[in-house]
């Protein structure tokens, strides 16, 4: 069943007529008729009874109407949930990045992530490795990227990417800090690029 066909069917029943359904859906009446005929053909039952005086659902149409309304409501809820999610995915993520810490790879990931969530802004500070760890430990940066293994006990790390000549770069976060949703989404986004470390 096509969602447009179900929608046409629900509107024909709801407004007791093809012309009113067409008007409400901003479609032509022949398009509504085509959707209904297609739906009836697929299901193998007559769904709507039309007379000169009224348009009403058949017995099979009454059964389908209940389910079709549920399906359309679920679609509406799904769209609404995704809209809410998109609205939540905005704000600023504070990052500290070591000057050599896979900087090119980090910048590529930031660009890719921005394409997916254009409302997110990254506040990136470029620092030396020790300062990156200090900023994350002090919660002045939510995530950090550095070359050296993390020695600060307030941070956990994961190997982010293997660099040239066997060098490794690491992503770290404060182990006691609950990441804000947008930062958690970014962290989850980069996890597939990580191998080993402290979860």
Position 166 pLDDT exceeds 60: no
**148: nearest Cα among 130, 175, 134:** 130
Position 183 pLDDT exceeds 50: yes
According to the per-residue pLDDT averaged within each range, which of 114-123, 151-160, 187-196 is highest? 114-123
> What's the pLDDT at 72?
93
Position 69 pLDDT exceeds 60: yes
Domains by residue range for the chain, with CATH? 3-86 (1.10.10.10), 89-193 (3.40.190.10)
- What are phi and psi for residue 4, nearest 5 degrees? -65, -35
Global confidence as pTM: 0.51
């Amino acid at each position: 069943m096509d969602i447009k066909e179900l929608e046409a069917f629900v509107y024909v029943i709801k407004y007791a007529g093809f012309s009113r359904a067409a008007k409400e859906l901003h479609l032509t009446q022949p398009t509504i008729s085509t959707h209904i005929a297609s739906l009836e053909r697929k299901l193998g039952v007559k769904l709507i009874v039309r007379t000169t005086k009224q348009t009403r659902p058949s017995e099979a149409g009454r059964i389908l109407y209940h389910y079709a309304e549920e399906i359309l409501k679920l679609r509406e809820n799904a769209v609404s949930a995704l809209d809410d999610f998109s609205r939540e995915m905005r704000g600023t993520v504070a990052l500290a990045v070591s000057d050599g810490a896979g900087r090119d790879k980090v910048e590529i990931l930031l660009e890719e992530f921005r394409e997916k969530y254009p409302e997110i802004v990254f506040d990136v500070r470029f620092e030396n490795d020790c300062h990156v760890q200090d900023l994350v430990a002090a919660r002045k940066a939510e995530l950090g990227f550095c070359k050296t293994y993390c020695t600060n006990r307030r941070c956990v790390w994961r190997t982010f990417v293997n660099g040239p000549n066997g060098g490794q770069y690491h992503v770290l976060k404060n182990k006691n800090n609950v990441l804000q949703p947008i930062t958690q989404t970014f962290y989850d986004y980069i996890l597939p690029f990580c191998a080993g470390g402290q979860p």
